Structure 1
Amino acid sequence: LTFVAGATVMSSMPPMTLPEVAFCGRSNVGKSSIINALTLSTTARSSDKPGMTQQFNFYVLPRRLMMVDMPGYGFAFANEQKMAGWKVLIDQYIQTRKMKRVFLIIDGRHGVKQNDKDFMQRLDDARVSFQIILTKCDLV
């Protein structure tokens, strides 16, 4: 797994030259950790502090797949203006990029929250195929 780019605006996102999958969910549900687990890597930076992924992070599995670690939604240690900017960028991303799949990460300790339901509706509205993955089930 290789880090390719960090993007805070659409124009700084790399071109789609490989199939692309994205990992999204509330802050601190384990998006970066699941990327590392799936790729047997430690390339994606993870933290136990909500809101540490503050840009779209693009990783590549050479000649196979682009993986995108998206900023979380919900509570984060970031100001409201920055979080509002993430929401706009997330909406632009899901409406314009043609991902193969979005993986919606849900913390098994808390289940599906209203902001998860709202995000699922945004994905449905954009006609984006998504799959739910439960994390942290071992902590229940």
Structure 2
Amino acid sequence: MNSKMNLLFQKSNMGVGKRKQSIARVFLKPGKGDLIINNIPGEKYLQYNANHIDTIKDPLKKLQLEEQFDMIAIVKGGGLTGQTEAIQLGVARLLCKFEPTNRSILKPHGFLTRDARIKERKKYGLRKARKAPQYSKR
């Protein structure tokens, strides 16, 4: 059993997704459609938010594979929405790694596109990235 778990959590079986500050490492194993995030059931981790759960499962739904794989995700950083989208990207990338023909199905739906928008850095002389101190003429 332990050797099977070691085979599951190898780099070759991993899909990585990023969004804002969130980084998700996703593993798929044959199963009945369970979702586990950071060793917590996915529904509980995502606070029973149906939109987040559907977002994660969308790539599997497009390929009619939602009842064939269990998803295990290890997520760090960011908030729930960023983590959700990071997991979705990781799942889509992993499905393309397993079967290259899946790419042509997932690509038009935008599942393989990395959303590169991140928080802009703070500049010196300003309060935030773009917010300047109040200007006083006199």
- Provide TM-score, normalisation by structure 1: 0.27
Larger radius of gyration: 2
- Provide TM-score, normalisation by structure 2: 0.27
**Structure with the bigger percentage of helix:** 2
**Structure with the bigger percentage of strand:** 1
